[in-house]
Structure 1
């Protein structure tokens, strides 16, 4: 999703409303200006366009009712940094780098151990058959440990792929809601933060009859003459940080569970390479 273009369109319409223009006039000028691809070569995606259209309708009603344009729904989305918080976050970049590191180790293990299994292990097996006293527990357990390592490596790759896809599409998940398969993967704590962020982002365009705790609190802020957009920005920042922390904790738990098994498999593989060599050296001597 191109959020910079979405925010620009919101700013464009907000400024036109401040000049006393209508939404229809702003839309016509926007299309004729050639600025619909200022920040991206692609048009807004359906979810973004739907969000914008709802914000435009609500803002038009708000301005008609006497609300200042700078407090409207369009002004809210113009200032809400969805790109930086939901897609280009440094925390998410660190998480992805962590996942890529684990995937690299898993791929290296699969490649090297499989080569050893196919080409080297059979040779040592024939040699040990001729010299039974060279046999050792490490060599006998190689097949089992190799299989365990493959399963763990495949699990790491599959899990990392799914989580990386989820992180790269976090904005869609928050705006549109998690699908059934996403709900089956993500922990409840993450889903709660996703739902909270969805409420914060979409609150300015929701029905005024909405009976929710957040809506009541924001409505009270408006009645006291305070800027509700500022408070929504603050809540948005707080919950995006919480979401990042929850995702980081999930990845850390996965790493604590699977990484030791993978490292032990790699260590066992290295040991299994050198022990037969040393044993052969003893026989030759």
Structure 2
């Protein structure tokens, strides 16, 4: 069994391209490509779709298997994108990808690791802890001279992984409202870029953030090469007065960037069991006109 021993980070958070290159052929290692494709729209927005075409045509890491974040690692019938999948459905997906009770999983994408972090957090929510994210993703892998493969991934031998959901990793609207109303002792943080937190430059009447929350953007935790920079997060933690014993609820637009922030916090030594991601995030919160949003700081 491969044991994740990443560079300077706690186990099962980030692994380096060097570590992965040394273990890429390990029998028990499963590499998952969580790429999402984004087509820019004229209004500045984006149309998201699964990245399987990129996986096939533009290449993927050796032995990688495609992790469909739209249909397989989320509930495709849910009202909001990227909603937590059902346990049995996710277990069937993982078994089809060849994940066994002995597997070590490394997830990557070709953006900034945020999609990979969502898969990482969902797997942790269902009891899998021997999972890590490739620091810097596919871009850094290529910059380091890593090889790529092309085409459809071969069908993997069926796995036997068993999932058990762990409460608290992904929380719902009622639990988020309990934080806002002071009924739950927790601090809330928004992982979106600061301008999205404040609503700056937007004319959306539902712009802004959830009351009582503070801004801690995931994108600000990465260096110019897309690598996680612990010192940047430490500065933010100190500025916000966050303590290791605090309970934190993280959110963003759709429960994705918040998982990147959770990954950074765990990599810095925070207990994952004291962190929650609001699954519906602002997609759900803003959809209810009775729920308040705050513009500005």
Q: After TM superposition, is the score higher than 0.5?
A: no
The two structures have a TM-score, normalised by structure 1, of 0.26
Name whichever structure is richer in strand by fraction: 2
Greater RCO, 1 or 2 (C-alpha within 8 Å, sep 6+): 1
When normalised by structure 2's length, the TM-score is 0.25
